[in-house]
Amino acid sequence: MGIAAAEFEAVGEVEIGGSDRLRQLNDDISDAIDRAYHALVQITNGERSIGAGTIWHSEGLILTNAHVVHDEQPNVTLNDGRKFPARVLYYNAELDLAALSIEASGLPTIEPGDSKHLKPGQWVMALGHPWGVRNAVSGGIVIGMGAEMPDIPFSSREWVVVSLHMRPGHSGGPLIDTAGRLIGINTMISGPDVGVAVPVHVVKKFLKDSMA
Amino acid sequence: MTVLNELSNAMAAAVENVGASLVRVEGRKRMSATGVVWNSDGVIVTASHVVTRDEELHIGLPNGETVAATLVGRDPTTDVAVLRTAAKNLSVPHWAGGDGLKVGHLVLALGRPGQNVLATLGVVSSIAEEWHTPAGGKIDYYLQTDVTMYPGFSGGPLVGVGGEIYGINSSTLLRGVSVTIPTTTIAPIVDTLLKHGKLRRGYLGVGSQPVRLPAALEQQLGQETGLLLVAVEPNSPAEKGGLMLGDVIVALDGHPVRVPDELLAGLTGDKVGKDAKVKLVRGGQIHEVNITVGERQ
């Protein structure tokens, strides 16, 4: 025992090592997620999780995909646990976007980012509830943007295509940049490691056109 | 600036910089693939399997122009093809050897299957010794990554976070994994193709099959099998060098020959016209003969 304890102490003195910059990198990643996390909501029908949503306006405007709320009676669960029945305010199947309204105010929102000037290779993260697992994050980079991406259906529309794990349950959740800003709404999968999001500038136009 | 931002910007910058040297390769019926500028003379390197035709090839330049290209040559065994275009002032990227590259390093796979440069991220999964592709090509070192090979990425580069190119990616050399043909393997192939239009292969002129060696020889030579000569072509380098039916080849230039693939792999183009030392077993005795290697036509 004595020997084992001595050995243990010796090991205890050894520097674990690693890099301060790598630790800083991890902290930066959590900071970005912290800034966006509270704007992520879960959308359910009864007890069934049907997808994710993103708080757009503090007075109860929630964004999600049209396919998430199609033929559903959606409820919205906030990250603080409160649950609200939701009304589908705007719905556009072609853009796969929907805006929901809940009777709440003072909700935490997310800062919109610049989706018109994304660069292939830049770091992004997708927030959502893949397979119903709450508040999960996956990370990767932008593969490319715009219309006419190879292998993407509805290729005449604008997309952000990302190299990360996206799964059912991510739909409607935020895609964020390194500063935790919203650059897209997670929408579909085009391969096991390829996710597709609607860029936030398309979301803005959808809301503007719907309200007009 | 946060470290995350720095990393993100560095990756985006690497994509942008290397992207200036990436071209779209239109050489097959279905989707276009990617090629990388090799030098300022308009030489482009790509994957052989994405160039299914020998003529009517086109290259999409980073500036959006589409220009004609010709096939300089190809090596299907390593999945390398070399094209030439008349376009000048192409941006030549930094082609790097594998020194310093380690398992776990971040790497990017880039492609230009359409107008724009696309990128995926991964890590180096495995670096190992020299290997032979199923088609018999010799690859300097094994380099496997977990980058996603997005459609049209074949022929595109594997890029380090500093923008250096470690080789070109192929989705077909091995099924189900992303392997990279290293720069050090590509360079001599490009040189040979530019010089001769094809890869030279050495030639002996024998037919052979593997046979089990007698126990004593097996122990002495450290190998279980050799190649029994079942045919020697008239006037071939083998016949001129004195090889005979029934001889069992056990080594070529010091490398053991146990199966026919090892003899083929040993007869590289640089041996053409030179003497090769062939170790063989004849009448139970080990002999060594010099044979002037011919060129496979």
Question: From the CA of A57, how many Å to the nearest CA of chain B?
Answer: 27
**Cα–Cα distance measured from residue A97 to residue A53, given in angstroms and rounded to the nearest whole number:** 11
Q: Band the pLDDT of A155: cuts 50, 70, 90.
A: low
Using CA atoms of A38, A180, A123, A198 in order, give the dihedral in degrees to the nearest 10.
70
Task: Tally the C-alpha atoms within 13 A of residue B50's C-alpha that lie toward its C-beta.
Answer: 31
Mean pLDDT over residues A145-158, rounded? 75
CB contact under 8 A, A178 and B14: no
Q: Which two tokens stand for residue B59?
A: 């290259």
Domain boundaries, chain B: 1-199, 202-295
The pLDDT score that the predictor gives to residue A192 is: 83
pTM of the model: 0.81
Does residue B285 surpass a pLDDT of 60? yes
Catalytic residue among B21, B32, B48, B154: B154
Question: From the CA of A44, how many Å to the nearest CA of chain B?
Answer: 32
Q: Band the pLDDT of A15: cuts 50, 70, 90.
A: low
The amino acid that residue A79 corresponds to is: N
**Cα–Cα distance measured from residue B231 to residue B5, given in angstroms and rounded to the nearest whole number:** 66
Say whether A57 is catalytic.
no
- Higher-confidence residue of A189 and B198: namely A189
Enter the CATH code of domain B1-199.
2.40.10.120
Catalytic residue among B21, B32, B49, B178: B49
Say whether B287 is catalytic.
no
Query: Could you tell me if B110 and B11 are in contact, meaning their C-beta atoms sit under 8 angstroms apart?
Result: no
The pLDDT score that the predictor gives to residue B81 is: 97
Q: What is the pLDDT of residues B150-160, one digit of tens each?
A: 999 999 999 99
The pLDDT score that the predictor gives to residue A148 is: 72
CATH T-level fold of B202-295: Pdz3 Domain (2.30.42)
The pLDDT score that the predictor gives to residue A132 is: 86
Using the structure block, give the residue that is written with the tokens 């043909």.
Answer: B181
Catalytic residue among A49, A129, A171, A177: A171
Q: What is the pLDDT of residues B114-133, one digit of tens each?
A: 999 999 999 999 999 998 88
> Total domain count for chain A?
1
Q: Band the pLDDT of B137: cuts 50, 70, 90.
A: confident
Does residue A3 surpass a pLDDT of 70? no
- What is the domain range of residue A168? 123-209
Q: Band the pLDDT of B79: cuts 50, 70, 90.
A: very high
* Nearest C-alpha neighbor of A58 from the set A35, A39, A37: A39
In a domain, A26, yes or no: no
CB contact under 8 A, B4 and A144: no
In a domain, A162, yes or no: yes
CB contact under 8 A, A143 and B150: yes
Does residue A16 surpass a pLDDT of 80? no
DSSP-derived pairing of the beta strands A97-101 and A61-64: antiparallel
Predicted ipTM of the assembly? 0.84
When mean pLDDT is compared across A10-14, A66-70, A203-207, the lowest value belongs to A10-14
Among partner residues B5, B15, B114, which is closest to A120 by beta-carbon distance?
B15
Does residue A12 surpass a pLDDT of 70? no
Mean pLDDT over residues A158-175, rounded? 94
Does residue A71 surpass a pLDDT of 90? no
The pLDDT score that the predictor gives to residue A1 is: 35
B interface with A, Cβ–Cβ < 8 A, is: 2-5, 7-9, 11-16, 19, 31, 108, 113-121, 148, 150-152
When mean pLDDT is compared across A56-60, A93-97, A149-153, the lowest value belongs to A149-153
When mean pLDDT is compared across A131-145, A146-160, B162-176, the lowest value belongs to A146-160
CATH of the domain at A163: 2.40.10.10
CB contact under 8 A, A121 and B4: no
The mean of the pLDDT values for chain B is: 93
Cα distances (angstroms) measured from residue A13 to each of A7, A19, A74, B170 = 10, 18, 56, 47
Does residue A7 surpass a pLDDT of 80? no
Say whether A67 is catalytic.
yes
In a domain, A45, yes or no: no
Does residue B99 surpass a pLDDT of 70? yes
Question: From the CA of A167, how many Å to the nearest CA of chain B?
Answer: 16
- Cβ of A155 under 8 Å from any chain B Cβ? no
The pLDDT score that the predictor gives to residue A11 is: 47
* Nearest C-alpha neighbor of B35 from the set B13, B66, B77: B66
Q: Name B242's Cβ contacts closer than 8 Å, sequence gap at least 6.
A: B289, B291
Mean pLDDT over residues B74-95, rounded? 93
DSSP 8-state class, residue A149: -
Q: Band the pLDDT of B267: cuts 50, 70, 90.
A: confident
Q: Which of A28, A31, A176 should be substituted to probe chain B, the one whose Cβ sees the most B Cβ atoms within 10 Å?
A: A28
Catalytic residue among A49, A96, A129, A138: A96
How many A-B residue pairs are in contact by the CB < 8 A criterion?
92
Question: From the CA of B33, how many Å to the nearest CA of chain A?
Answer: 11
Q: Band the pLDDT of A4: cuts 50, 70, 90.
A: very low
In a domain, A132, yes or no: yes
In a domain, A113, yes or no: no
- Percentage with pLDDT > 70 across chain B: 100
CB contact under 8 A, A143 and B7: no
Task: Provide the 10 A C-beta neighbour count for residue B296.
Answer: 15
